[in-house]
Amino acid sequence: MTEITGNIRSPFWPQLKGTGHVIDPVAFVLALLGAPLVVTIFTFWAVVPIFALIFGAPAYLICGTPALLWYLRRYEAKPIPIGVLAVAVNTATLPILLWTDILPGRQDVNDMLIMFGAFGGVFAFLWGLAFGWLYPQFRRGFLAPITPNAIPE
- Domain membership of residue 151 (yes or no) is no
Residue 2 domain flag: no
pLDDT score recorded for residue 118: 74
Q: Which amino acid is at 28?
A: F
Number of domains in the chain: 1
pTM equals: 0.72
Instruction: Give CA separation, 59 vs 7, 54, 129, 137, 141, in Å.
Output: 33, 10, 17, 24, 29
Q: What is the pLDDT of residue 145?
A: 58
C-alpha span between 110 and 98 (Å, rounded): 10
Q: Is residue 70 a part of any domain in this protein?
A: yes
- Domain assignment present for 8: no
With respect to residue 150, please indicate whether it lies within any of the assigned structural domains: no
Residue 84 is assigned to a structural domain of this protein: yes
The answer as to whether 76 is a domain residue is yes
| pLDDT value for 138 | 86
- Ranges of the chain with pLDDT below 50: none
Instruction: Please check whether residue 82 lies inside any domain of the structure.
Output: yes
Res 50: pLDDT: 76
Instruction: Determine the pLDDT at residue 133.
Output: 92
User: Nearest Cα to 122, choosing from 71, 32, 51?
Assistant: 51
Find the domain containing 112 and state its range.
17-141
